[in-house]
């Protein structure tokens, strides 16, 4: 039986290779997914760039991921990097597949850094990975990022409600096969989204039970994924990134 990870990897590799070859085939599943986000203004999604459903070693070919983080979508479209004739498109062609390319930490190396500077989003999540695993040597091969919605938009601005069945097939099922118990998502929008699709099992910090955080605005919500794993959603006033090393250590005690 084909694993969910292999199935999802093969699906996206075929789709993105076809897109790079000049087509824009949106099978019914992807069309429903694409229409599941009603982005307005700067939140309007685009098909001008290739979709980016995950980053990291999904198949564990180099190293089995030890941390899974969810993103809402891959962010603003940059034609220099994500169009059919872009730098990253050429890299994918040379690698032979999106899945292979996604293991090369493209947003934390040149040419991205040379043209765009340090990617704070990626670096913050790598820092969190090291803090949570208590392993300062952890690197991009330990971190796997799934996007809830794989198409680019400048902002998240509008209702995001992709079909539950598609999220299960493309996100929850491959995550179920990974050797992690907690999956993390950062930012208040994730809590609004999680409430509509998952059962909540605990509330920590602001609006919930105290757990030792020194930041009064910090909120942590825990949801149960279909596999029984936990989705941990965290946010705090003034930022949508992961907590500091000190706050991460406090949170870890809740899962010891």
E strands, 62-171, are 67-71, 143-147, 158-160
Other C-beta atoms closer than 10 Å to the C-beta of 203 total 15
Q: Distance of alpha carbon 254 from its chain centroid, rounded?
A: 23
Is 185 in the same domain as 197? Answer: yes
Is 173 in the same domain as 242? Answer: no
Q: Tokens representing 247? A: 């706050």
CB 160 within 8 A of CB 37: yes
Asked, for residue 70, whether it belongs to a domain, the answer is: no
Question: 182: Cβ–Cβ under 8 A, 6 or more apart, which residues?
Answer: 229, 230, 231, 232, 255
Q: In this predicted structure, what is the pLDDT of residue 239?
A: 73
Q: In this predicted structure, what is the pLDDT of residue 248?
A: 97
Q: In this predicted structure, what is the pLDDT of residue 174?
A: 98
Asked, for residue 71, whether it belongs to a domain, the answer is: no
Is 2 in the same domain as 121? Answer: yes
CB 134 within 8 A of CB 116: no
Q: Tokens representing 111? A: 């040419």
Domain limits at 190?
181-256
Quote the crossing angle between the two packed helices 87-95 and 4-20, to the nearest 10°: 120
Q: Show pLDDT as tens, one digit a residue, over the chain (256 residues).
A: 689 999 999 999 999 999 999 987 788 889 999 999 999 999 999 999 999 999 999 999 999 999 999 999 999 999 999 999 999 999 999 999 999 999 999 999 999 999 999 999 999 999 999 999 999 999 999 999 999 999 999 999 999 998 999 999 999 999 999 999 999 999 988 998 899 999 999 999 999 999 999 999 999 999 999 999 999 999 998 777 899 999 999 999 999 8
Distance CA 217, CA 227 (A): 30
Q: What are phi and psi of 163, to 5 degrees?
A: -55, 130
Q: What is the number of structural domains in the chain?
A: 2
Q: In this predicted structure, what is the pLDDT of residue 12?
A: 97
Q: In this predicted structure, what is the pLDDT of residue 92?
A: 98
Q: In this predicted structure, what is the pLDDT of residue 11?
A: 96
Dihedral sign (CA 103, 173, 148, 24) = positive
Other C-beta atoms closer than 10 Å to the C-beta of 230 total 18
Q: In this predicted structure, what is the pLDDT of residue 1?
A: 63
Is 151 in the same domain as 227? Answer: no
Is 43 in the same domain as 12? Answer: yes
């Amino acid at each position: 039986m084909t694993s969910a990870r292999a199935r999802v990897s093969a699906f996206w590799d075929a789709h993105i290779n076809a897109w790079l070859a000049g087509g824009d085939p949106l099978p019914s599943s992807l069309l429903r997914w694409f229409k599941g986000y009603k982005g307005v203004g700067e939140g309007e999604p685009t098909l001008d760039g290739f979709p980016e459903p995950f980053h990291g070693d999904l198949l564990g070919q180099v190293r089995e991921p030890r941390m899974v983080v969810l993103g809402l979508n891959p962010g603003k479209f940059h034609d220099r990097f994500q169009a059919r004739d872009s730098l990253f498109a050429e890299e994918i062609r040379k690698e032979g597949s999106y899945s292979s390319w996604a293991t090369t930490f493209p947003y934390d190396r040149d040419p991205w850094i040379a043209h765009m500077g340090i990617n704070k989003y990626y670096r913050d999540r790598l820092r969190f990975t090291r803090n949570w695993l208590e392993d300062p040597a952890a690197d991009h091969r330990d971190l796997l990022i799934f996007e809830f919605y794989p198409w680019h938009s400048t902002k998240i601005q509008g209702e995001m409600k992709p079909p539950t069945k598609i999220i299960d097939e493309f996100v929850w099922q491959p995550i179920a096969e990974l050797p992690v118990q907690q999956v993390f998502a950062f930012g208040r929008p994730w809590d609004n989204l999680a409430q509509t699709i998952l059962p909540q099992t605990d509330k920590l910090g602001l609006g919930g039970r105290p757990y030792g955080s020194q930041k009064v605005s910090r909120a942590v919500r825990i949801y149960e994924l279909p596999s029984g794993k936990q989705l941990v959603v965290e946010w705090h006033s003034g930022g949508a990134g992961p907590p500091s090393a000190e706050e991460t250590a406090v949170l870890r005690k809740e899962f010891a």
